[in-house]
Amino acid sequence: MLLFLLAFAGGMLTIASPCILPMLPFVFARAGQPFVKSTLPMLVGMAATFAAVASLAAVGGAWAVTANQYGRNAALVVMAGFGAILLFPAVASRLSRPIVALGARLSATADRNRRGGGSVVAASALLGVAVGLLWAPCAGPLLGLILTGAAINGANLTTSLLLLAYALGAATSLALALLVGGRVFHAMKRSLHAGEWLRRGFGVAVIVATVAIGLGADTRFLAQASYASTARLEQRLLDSVTAPQSEPRSEPEPEAAILQSAPAATINDISPALLTPIKAERVKLTLPVEPTQPDLKGAVQWLNSEPLRIADLKGKVVLVNFWTFGCINCLHTLPYVKDWAAKYADQGFVVIGVHSPEFAYEKDRANVKAAVADLGITFPVALDNDFTIWRQFNNRYWPAQYFIDANGQVRFHHFGEGKYDQSEQVIRQLLAERDAATP
């Protein structure tokens, strides 16, 4: 029960994450509509569809990937029709084409003209289904744990209910925001007499969001944006109930590593500035051998390289970077990873990307290949659709970086964004160790 509550709490935190932004035009276009007959069915439809699609992705077959892609395309069509009706209700009422007619069933104007409440509920639920098909939340520690469990153990009742709890948490936070937004919407209509322009503004926002999602521009935009992450708060909630499991994988703070390795007589002489990773070059970080026995077997395909094994890379320092192209946090770390790959390549440093998909559309090999090309990734990328490499590293996070020394042993890991200077120091230190050991 506690894990379900944590999943619900993690879902509520998504209102503060950037990945919810592309969905807001669709959701807030319903501002001012009756909550029970309009807003509630839409949010329930969104939550149920997200849980169903994420559970379907855990099945892992090619048919699941194809079904998800068709579903997303259909959702984009529905949203385009919805936006067109908000923007041009008079024109749409004269047209009978199927797409526009479907959009009309979702519009606020058509809702008000219907006699019964059942069709309003059905139209709102259908809109929620479309939102659920398009929504790809940022995978913080809580959602990452749920998705990892689903991917590794397959679809089952527990993971489906956890996904539903997460989605219901997100729906709850959106409902609260909509209640406030609805009041603001009504106030603006009364004071400014701008109801028609507001509705058209929502229509423009819906169409822009639909086009952006269809072209993948939303992900590229969010990858360039800076925002406050909820990952630390989620991790604290998770650690409160899973600390015994996560403790062996805990990451030492830079200060702790420096003080542990510095001579006792000089600890008090280190200034606070020297306790930041970028200033700590003269003080070696403590990099113990971790129990993980890494390997790269099990990838369904390799990009930019023939299949590689850790054993083939002995004598080189290796960074294994777990990521997925729809993960905003992963995209934030990517410029640093690419820079390290280029900067230290001639010194015997190798970067290997392991693409472990969060959602079904990220399992499509053509989508991954296109993303790798668009992002300018030239280092080897293993497509870990079955999470085989993920399990070998006992990984649980997106993004996650594992630093492997010249002997093939994991010496350091980092989860999430940040601490880039410390990570680069680890690279330099492992290269120096390798060079010192070479006769």
Query: What pLDDT score was predicted for residue 221?
Result: 59
Q: Are strands 317-323 and 410-415 parallel, antiparallel or unpaired?
A: unpaired
Greater pLDDT, 323 or 35:
323
Q: Which among 335, 324, 235, 216 is positioned nearest to 9, based on CA atoms?
A: 235
Specify the pTM: 0.61
Q: Is 194:37 a contact under the CB 8 Å cutoff?
A: no
Mean pLDDT of 390-406: 90
CB 82 within 8 A of CB 206: yes
**Two structure tokens written together for 31:** 């501002």
134 versus 237: which is more confidently predicted?
134
The pLDDT of residue 352 is: 96
pLDDT in tens, 61-111: 555 556 556 666 676 676 666 666 566 655 545 544 554 455 555 555 445
On the question of a cis peptide bond just before residue 380, with omega within 30 degrees of 0, the verdict is: no
pLDDT of residue 327: 83
258/391: higher pLDDT = 391
Set out the domains of the chain in order of their start, with CATH numbers: 2-235 (no CATH), 287-437 (3.40.30.10)
pLDDT band at residue 347, thresholds of 50, 70 and 90?
Answer: very high
Average pLDDT of the chain is 72
Beta bridge partners of residue 403, listed in sequence order: 319, 412
Name which of 248-252, 264-268, 362-366, 430-434 the model is least confident about: 264-268
pLDDT tens digits for 37-58?
777 888 888 888 878 877 766 5
